Amino acid sequence: MKNGKIFPSSFPILLAFGLLGALFIFSHSYPINENKGPGTEDFLTICNKQRGAHVWGIVDTTDFQPLIDNNLEWITLVSWGYQDDIDSPIVTHHDGDSIRIMDYDAHWVRKIKSVRAAGFKVFFKPHVWLLSPSEGKWRSDIFPANELGWQTWQESYRNFILRYAKVAERAKVEMFCVGMEFWRLSVEKPEFWIKLIEDVREVYSGKITYAANWYHEYEEIKFWDQLDFIGVQAYFPLANTTNPSLREISKGWSKHVRTLESLSKKWDRKILFTEMGYKSTTNSAITPWEWSQNLSDSDRQYSPETQAKCYQAFFNKVWGKDWFDGVHIWVMRIDIAENYHKDNIDFTPLGKPAEVIISKGFERQKSSTGS
């Protein structure tokens, strides 16, 4: 979700004002007024929470303005590791040339420092990408084929994570993620993660979390007490129909909120949404996790209204909970600002009604804490 300028300068001025007016009208068409949402007096007493987003396309400080305008406090930055398939024993993240590795790490340090110099906090979040996954498989299915493969994978993944933990320490990153969505490995190999967390704390002094998938993982992990937050990739299904009402989406949070609250109490840790996002489609509340590139033609129906309602339901039903510590939205795309077009169905909320909802939700909480 990146934006820079929301509307290209070549657009007629009249059109720009018309679209901005539409955003204003929409934001008032769906007042946020349920369960301590923005706009209610109780909401103004909420303690400070993380207001963040994954950001693509940061080049220099001129790119920060859309993030500042939308009241973000945190920027989530992603580094990458790669493996071929779910049973591959090696996580690659460099070409073996030590000079190039040093240069690349120094580049990350400079980039992070520039973000922090602009006044943002940084969540550094390494991801592993499967290059040639077997059909129907993805990161949650990663599991080495045998004991030798497991030993090799452990070593290569530890090398990957410790490398970027050291970068995070050099750049004074506020929060670091030790892994994400490794469902089988996180549930079946807890001892590996406990030792890895210990190793990371030896080289990194900030807060640490793990980003667990919402489906069959975050409830089953046994090492939350070793971390500072319970991290959840919060792509929970919230509706059963396309074009759902705000009431329907809000109701869809009920069972998830109960489970999250119970887990927070069990482990004495606050919940952090390490990712949460919605496409601009009519079915975005049904399957929030689906990539827009993978949608069938029938599911590619543009609906910025549904996207906005999803964010509004989040602010209404989750944001004000005392066990909840914040959200890192997926994703703000500054790199598509000049190519923005009205039927973009991707996750980016910039230039869409959802941007107004996010900005207002973050702004009220920001002003109430003075942060």
Asked whether 38 and 364 are in contact (CB, 8 A), the reply is yes
Q: Any idea what the Cα angle at residue 231 is, between residues 93 and 234, rounded to 5°?
A: 100
Q: Tell me, what's the pLDDT at 298? A: 77
Exposed/middle/buried for residue 330 (C-beta within 10 Å: 0-12, 13-18, 19+): buried
Which residues are registered as beta bridge partners of 129? 82
Model-level pTM? 0.86
Q: How many helices (H) and strands (E) does the chain have?
A: 10, 10
Q: Tell me, what's the pLDDT at 340? A: 58
Question: Whose CA is closest to 318, among 267, 268, 259?
Answer: 259
Q: Tell me, what's the pLDDT at 17? A: 35
Instruction: Give the integer Cα–Cα distance in Å for 164 and 81.
Output: 11
- Each of the 371 residues of the chain gets a pLDDT tens digit; together they read 333 333 333 333 333 334 334 333 344 343 444 443 333 334 333 458 999 999 987 656 667 888 999 999 999 999 999 999 999 999 999 878 889 999 999 999 999 999 999 999 999 999 999 999 999 999 999 999 999 999 999 999 999 999 999 999 999 999 999 999 999 999 999 999 999 999 999 999 999 999 999 999 999 999 999 999 999 999 999 999 999 999 999 999 999 999 999 999 999 999 999 999 999 999 999 999 998 877 887 788 999 999 999 999 999 999 999 999 999 999 998 876 555 545 689 999 998 999 999 999 998 655 444 44
What crossing angle do the helices spanning 147-170 and 190-203 adopt, rounded to 10°?
30
Q: Tell me, what's the pLDDT at 297? A: 78
Q: Tell me, what's the pLDDT at 328? A: 98
Asked whether 313 and 246 are in contact (CB, 8 A), the reply is yes
* Helix extents (H) in the chain: 13-29, 65-69, 98-117, 147-170, 183-188, 190-203, 246-252, 254-267, 304-317, 353-369
Asked whether 77 and 111 are in contact (CB, 8 A), the reply is yes
